[in-house]
Structure 1
Amino acid sequence: MLPINSLKLGAFLGLAAFAPAVDASGSDCRCFPGDQCWPSLSTWDAFNQSVNGRLVATVPLATPCHTPNYNSEKCEVLKDGWLLPEEHYKSSSSFMAPFFTNGTCDPYHPVSKPCTLGNFVRYAVNVSESSHVAKTLQFATEHNIRFIIRNTGHDYNGKSTGAGALSVWTHHLKGLEFKDWKDKYYTGKALKMGAGIQGIEAYEAAQAQGLRIVSGECPTVGIAGGYSQGGGHSALSSRYGLGADQVLEWEVIDGNGRFLVANRQQNTDLFWALCGGGGGTYGVVWSMTSKAHADGQVSGLNLTFTTSGISDDTFFEAVEFYNTRLPSIVDEGVMSLNFLTNTSFSISPMTGPDVPLKKLKSLIEPVLNELKRLGITYTYQAEEFGSYLEQFNAQVPLVEVGVAQYGSWLLPRSIVTNLSTNRELTQSIRTVLGQHATFTTVAINVAKNVTGDVYNAVNPAWRTAIAHVLMSTPWEFNEPEQMAENRKLMTDLLVPSISKLAPESGAYLNECDFDQPNWKKAFYGKNYNDLLAIKSKYDPHSLFYGLTAVGSDEWTVSNSGRMCRVATASGEN
C-alpha cells in the first residue's frame, strides 16, 4: 500500500499563490473543449510531465460495446458486471449514477449508437503525491477549467463527474496507519486512512487488530470521501454515531493548493465543515483519521414476510407495529435495515454490536408475536458472530448500482411514538408503495448522547431522527422519457408524501432527491450560511462544485455541459 505523505502543517508546495481564474473565453463560464481558450495538446503534455505522467485521458468504460470499437466478448463482460461497483471504481472516469451519463455510453444502448465523452470528465490525474493535487488545482485555475474530485464514483447525485472537466482521482491513496490517540475530546485507538481506502479494506485491517471501524453498508464506498464528509450512516451508528462523528483529523489540500491539517485544535472551521458539510466542497481530502473501536461479538437477524394469504390492511398493520418498536430497538445500540415493497417486508439485517443474541431476540420478539396474532407466516434467522466483519459478510445484502433513482427524508422519533402520526406514516408509506417504489428504512439513533463529544456540520435533523427513509424507483436503460417521469414523481409525490409529516426535518444529502426543493435547508439545516462562508475562505476561486453542494447555486450547467456563473449564464441548450 502507498504510504500517506505527511507534509508539515501549512506547507504551500510552492503553489499557494494562485492567480484568480482567467476568463479566456470572454465570459464567466468555464473553458469548454472546443473553445479557443481550451489548452493545446502540447500544454496538456507539459502538464502531464509536471505530474509525473499520471494524466489519464478518458476513454468511456463501455466503449467496446459501440462502433467503431465494438468487441462482443468485452461487451458481454461489461454487461455482466455493470450493476456492480467493482466494474466502475477501477476506472478513472466511470460512475454509478446512470441518470448523469445522459445516455452517453453504457453496454445496453444500441451498438450503432456512438460512444461519446458526454458528461464524463475529459482528463483525470491519478494522484500519488499531494503535489499532484496542488498542480492539478493550479492548472484548472490558470486555464479556467471545471474541476472534479473523484474517488470511487459512488455518488447518487453525479458529483464525481462533469463534462469538460479535469479531475483528481484519489482511489489509489491506500495508506493505512493505526494510532493511539489522546486529546481532551477522545482517547483511544484510531485509524489514519488515505483518501482511497474503501470500507471493506478498513474492516479487514481493523479486524486484524481486534478493532472495528464505522463505514457504510456498501463495502466499496470510499470512507474519507463523500461518505464521511456527507455524514455517513452505518450498521454501527446506533452504537457509535455517524461516520462524520468518528473523524479526529483531516489532511486536505485547499483551493489555494495549501496542504493543511484540520482538527479541533487547528483549522477548526475547515474540520467542522468537512465533517458532514458535504463532499468535494471545501478541499481535496488526502487522508482522514477516525476513531477505531474495540471489536467483539455482534448479533444479527433477518426477518421476512409477504402479502401472500393476507389482506393489504393486515400487511400494513404489521408494518405499522414494527415502526412503533423502532425506539426500543435502536436505543439498545442496534441498527435495523428494512426493505419494503407493496408485497414484501424484510429486515436485512438487524445489527447489534456488543448486543448478546438473547437480547437481540428479545427486541424483535414483540414483532414476532404481532405477526403470529395477525396470522402472518414469516421466515426468521438470528445468529451471533465473533466480530463485526463476520456478521457483515454473512448478513449484509449485495449492493447493486445503477438500478434506481432516489429520494429521502429523515423521520423524527416523535412520528412513530405518537399513535396518530404513526398511522399517518403508514398511509404515506402506502402512497409511496402504490407507485411501485421501494421504501427503505435505516433505523438508527445518532442523538448526541450516543455520539459523545463531537464537533461537526452534520445536518441537525439527524440528531432527532429515528430513521433515514429512502424511496427508490427502478432505473431502466433506454427508457429516457419514463425515467424523466419517475424523476418528477420522486420530487412531486413520493418525497412530499413523507416530508409533509415532518416539514422541519431534512434529508440525508448523500442519498437524496437531487431536485429536492429548498435543498439548502433540507440537506444542511441551519448550518448552510456558515458552511458557505467556510467554502469561500478555503475555495476562493470557486473550484469545488457539485450538484446541491454548498455554493452550487452560484453556477448553472447547460444541457451541453457548459458551466457558467448564474449571473451570466447564456441559457445555452
Structure 2
Amino acid sequence: MWSSVLDLPDPVMALFRYFSLALSMTSLSLSAATDSSRCRCLYGQDCWPNDVAFSTFSQKLSQPLIRPTPIAATCYSNSSSSSCLDATTNFHNSTWRTDQPGASQNINFETYIRRNGTVEGCYLNVTLGDPCKQGSVPPIGVDARNSQDVQAAVRFVKEHNLKLVVKNTGHDYLGRSSGRGSFMVWTHHLKNKSYNETFVPLGGPSNATFSAITIGAGTLWAEAYEFVNEQGRVLVGGIAVGGSVGAAGGWVMGGGHSVLSPKYGLGVDNVLEFQVVLADGSLVTANAYQHSDLFWALRGGGGGTYGIVTAATYKTHPSFGVGQASFQANFTSPEVAEKVMTATISATLNFTNAGWGGYLYIFPGFIAGIWVAPNASQAETETAFTPFASYLYNITGGQGGAVYNQTDSFYQWFYDMFVLGGDSQVGGNTYIASRLLSREIAEHNPAQAAKALLSIPGSIGLNVIGGGAVNRVDPSLTGLNPSWRHSLAEVYVTEGWEDGSNATVIQQAADRLKKNTDILENVSTDSGSYLNEGSLFERDFKKSYFGSHYSGLKAIKEKYDPTSVFIVASGVSSEEWNKDLDCLLD
C-alpha cells in the first residue's frame, strides 16, 4: 500500500507532481481558516488530514487509496503517450469513462467555476491554451471493493469533517458525483451479483418470496441485464447507450424510469431491499420489514442523501420478446406540426395503458422515435400501431409512417439498440431540465401541450415511461414525488457549450435552460421533475423533485444523518448549505 504520496509508483508520482503544481493556486484559495462547526474541511486547508493520517487509514482498506485526476491530464504531460491516446480514443465512450475515477459522463462536472468567473478544468483539446487543473475532481478517495471499505471511509470522513462525494459511473446531470476539494468513495467495483428464485427480504415472513437478483452498487445495467438474462428472467432497469448507468445507485434512488415501466413499474416499485452504510459507519438492511422508513426514503428520495447503498435486490420477471415500432413524421407546416404533436401526446395515454413505453425526439421540422411493446409479436405490434402510423402518413401527405420489428428477448433488444447501435451520449458539456407530462393534459387538452412544446427552440425529448403500471401504485408507498403517479411521460430539454467557454457563455446556456424550463412548467402545470434528469436551476427544487413528500424525507434524513455527512446538489436538506455544499448558510 502507499503510505504517502512519496511511495507512489514512478508514472503516478510524475502525474502527482504535475498536479501539485496545477493545484497550488487552488490550494491557496482553499487554505483560509474555516469554522469547522459550520464548514467541511477541503483539500489544501490546514485541517486536511496529513500523510500519517491517510497512511493509517489506508491500512483499514482492501485497496490502496486512489488519487483521481481529470482524464485529459495525461495529454498535458505527454501528448504522444499511450495513456493520452487511450483518453483521446475513448473520450466519448461511456463504459470506458465508468472505469476512470476522475471522469464524469458530462465533462462540465469535472470543471469548477470560481467566484471571479474563471473556469478551472482540464480539456482534451490542449490547443485551447488553458492550463490543466483539478477542477471539481476529488483529489483522493477510496476504491471500495466491499462494504467494510465503505464503512471505514465514512468513519474517516466523519472523523476529519471532510466533504464527501459518492461516485459510481459518473452519470449525473446534477454533478453529485464530483466536488472540488472533496473526498471520494468510489463504488464502481462493487459488482457482486446473485440470483435467488425464493428470495425472502430480511425480517419478512417465509411466504413472502420473490424471484430476485441482488447486485452490488457498481454493477452497470448492461451487466445486470446480461446476468439476469442467463437466468431466463428480465429486470426493470435504466436504458442508455452502452448500458453504463449504475444499476443499484442513484438511478433507483431517484425513481428509476425504464421503457418497461408502463408494464412493470419504476425502479422504486421493483426494488425489494437495500444494503446501506449509514452516517455512523454502520451497515444496515432496509426493506419493508426493517428500517422501513429508510427504505421508503431511498425509493425516490434521492441518491447520496441518507447513506451509501452498497447493494440492492430487485424482483425479476419472466423473459419475453419485444415488439418495436419505429416512426418518423415531417412537419410540412406549423399546422401539421401541431396536429402531429397533439396526436402523439394523445397516443401516450392508450399506449402506456397497454404497457408500451417509448423514446421520442422532436426536432425542428420533424418527430422521430420508437415505441416498445413488451411480450408482443411483430403482428401484434403492427395491429396496435398501424392506426397511428396511418394518421401520420395521411396528415403529412405521405411524409410519415412506421416500420416494425420483433426481438426474441428483452436483452437482445437492448443489446442491439443500445450497445451495438447507439451513438455516444457523453463527453460533452450538458445541462438538462425536465417535467412530467400528466395524464390529465394528455386526456383533456393535448393540443395545449403540443403548442407549448413546439414553442421551445431547438429539440426536445419525450420519454414515455409513465402511465400504466406506474399510475397504479399508491403514491404513499414510496418516497418518490407523487407527481409520478399521475404522469405519462417525461419531457426534457438540454443546453450545451464548447470546451474552453468562459463563465459568461456557460451562464447564457443556464439562462436559456431556465427560460425553457418555464415553458415546460406551463405544459403540465404543478407537475414534478425527474430528479436524475433535472436542472441545477430549479426555482423550487423541493417541489419539483420531491413534492409533498419533502417534509417526510427531511425528517428521515435528520434521523439517519443528523450531522449531514451526506449532502448533494438539489438533495434533501441541501437548501441549508452554500452553493459549493461545503458550508452551512448563516
* TM above 0.5: yes
Q: Is the 8 A contact 2:342 2:446 kept in 1?
A: yes
**Deviation at residue 444 of structure 1 after TM alignment:** 2.8
Q: What do the CA deviations read for 1:410-435 (whole angstroms, capped 9, x no partner)?
A: 010111212xx322212211211xx2
Structure 2 counterparts to residues 471-486 of structure 1, below 5 A? 471-480=493-502, 481-486=504-509
Are 2:370 and 1:370 aligned? Answer: no
Q: Is the 8 A contact 2:167 2:178 kept in 1?
A: yes
1:223 matched residue in structure 2: 247
The counterpart of 2:40, out of the listed 30, 47, 51, is 30
Q: What do the CA deviations read for 1:90-121 (whole angstroms, capped 9, x no partner)?
A: 01121122332235013135364222112111
Are 2:585 and 1:566 aligned? Answer: yes
Letter in 2 for 1:134: Q
The counterpart of 1:358, out of the listed 363, 367, 379, is 379
Alpha-carbon distance in structure 1 between the residues aligned to 2:178 and 2:579: 12
435-444 or 42-51: bigger deviation: 435-444
Secondary structure (helix, strand or coil) at the match of 1:361 reads helix
Alpha-carbon distance in structure 1 between the residues aligned to 2:349 and 2:468: 12
Are 2:49 and 1:39 aligned? Answer: yes
Q: What do the CA deviations read for 1:52-105 (whole angstroms, capped 9, x no partner)?
A: 443101222110232x44336644542342222123210112112233223501
4+ runs of 1 displaced by more than 6 Å? none
* Residues 124 and 71 of structure 1: CA distance in aligned 2, closer, same or farther (over 3 Å): farther
**Deviation at residue 542 of structure 1 after TM alignment:** 0.8
2:23 matched residue in structure 1: none
Matched positions, count = 533
85-94 or 397-406: bigger deviation: 397-406
The counterpart of 1:89, out of the listed 92, 98, 114, is 98
* Residues 24 and 543 of structure 1: CA distance in aligned 2, closer, same or farther (over 3 Å): farther
Alpha-carbon distance in structure 1 between the residues aligned to 2:62 and 2:361: 47
Secondary structure (helix, strand or coil) at the match of 2:66 reads strand
The counterpart of 1:456, out of the listed 465, 478, 481, is 478
Superposed CA RMSD: 2.2
2:433 matched residue in structure 1: 407
Alpha-carbon distance in structure 2 between the residues aligned to 1:454 and 1:363: 34
**Deviation at residue 50 of structure 1 after TM alignment:** 2.2
Structure 2 counterparts to residues 270-419 of structure 1, below 5 A? 270-307=294-331, 310-347=332-369, 349-374=370-395, 375-378=397-400, 380-396=402-418, 397-403=422-428, 404-418=430-444
Alpha-carbon distance in structure 2 between the residues aligned to 1:401 and 1:361: 34
Q: TM-score, normalised by structure 1?
A: 0.88
**Deviation at residue 450 of structure 1 after TM alignment:** 4.5
Letter in 1 for 2:73: T
Alpha-carbon distance in structure 1 between the residues aligned to 2:128 and 2:453: 41
Secondary structure (helix, strand or coil) at the match of 1:325 reads helix
The counterpart of 1:488, out of the listed 511, 517, 521, is 511
The counterpart of 2:163, out of the listed 146, 149, 155, is 146
1:529 matched residue in structure 2: 551
* Residues 186 and 326 of structure 1: CA distance in aligned 2, closer, same or farther (over 3 Å): farther
Alpha-carbon distance in structure 2 between the residues aligned to 1:301 and 1:144: 53
Alpha-carbon distance in structure 2 between the residues aligned to 1:363 and 1:377: 20
Q: Is the 8 A contact 1:134 1:253 kept in 2?
A: yes
Structure 2 counterparts to residues 438-453 of structure 1, below 5 A? 438-445=460-467, 447=469, 450-451=472-473
Secondary structure (helix, strand or coil) at the match of 1:564 reads coil
Letter in 2 for 1:149: V
Alpha-carbon distance in structure 2 between the residues aligned to 1:445 and 1:543: 36
Alpha-carbon distance in structure 2 between the residues aligned to 1:431 and 1:124: 45
Q: TM-score, normalised by structure 2?
A: 0.86
| Structure 2: 5+ residue stretches without partners | 1-31, 113-119
Letter in 2 for 1:181: F
Secondary structure (helix, strand or coil) at the match of 2:495 reads strand
The counterpart of 1:237, out of the listed 237, 254, 261, is 261
Bigger share in helix:
2
**Deviation at residue 275 of structure 1 after TM alignment:** 1.0
Are 2:80 and 1:71 aligned? Answer: yes
Secondary structure (helix, strand or coil) at the match of 1:30 reads coil
**Deviation at residue 329 of structure 1 after TM alignment:** 0.7
Alpha-carbon distance in structure 2 between the residues aligned to 1:239 and 1:447: 6
Secondary structure (helix, strand or coil) at the match of 1:408 reads strand
Q: Is the 8 A contact 1:97 1:156 kept in 2?
A: yes
The counterpart of 2:199, out of the listed 172, 181, 185, is 181
Q: What do the CA deviations read for 1:103-152 (whole angstroms, capped 9, x no partner)?
A: 50131353642221121112120112222111111111111110111111
Q: Is the 8 A contact 2:62 2:145 kept in 1?
A: no
Letter in 2 for 1:90: D
Alpha-carbon distance in structure 1 between the residues aligned to 2:80 and 2:424: 28
